[in-house]
């Protein structure tokens, strides 16, 4: 998933690719120990 996001190019509109990479790279996500507050905890 990370490799796909790193290769993804979206031009012309704002996107959150960098945030998505940050989220999936977090220890919490990789360990599978996340919940509905995941985004708030990672930011």
**Per-residue pLDDT tens digits for 1-36:** 999 999 999 999 999 999 999 999 999 999 999 888
Q: Cα torsion for 1, 23, 25, 17, to the nearest 10°?
A: 50
Domain map of the chain by residue range?
A: 2-7+14-42
Q: Does the pLDDT of residue 38 top 90, yes or no?
A: no
Separation of alpha carbons 17 and 31, rounded Å = 21
Report residue 42's pLDDT band, with 50, 70 and 90 as the boundaries: confident
Choose between 40 and 5: higher pLDDT. 5
Torsion sign over Cα 17, 36, 25, 5: negative
| pTM exceeds 0.85, yes or no | no
Q: Does the pLDDT of residue 43 top 90, yes or no?
A: no
Q: By CB neighbour count within 10 A (0-12 exposed, 13-18 middle, 19+ buried), where does 20 fall?
A: middle
């Amino acid at each position: 998933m990370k490799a796909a996001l790193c290769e993804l190019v979206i031009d012309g509109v704002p996107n959150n690719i960098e945030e998505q990479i940050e989220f999936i790279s977090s220890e919490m996500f990789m360990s599978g120990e996340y919940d509905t507050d995941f985004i708030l905890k990672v930011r």
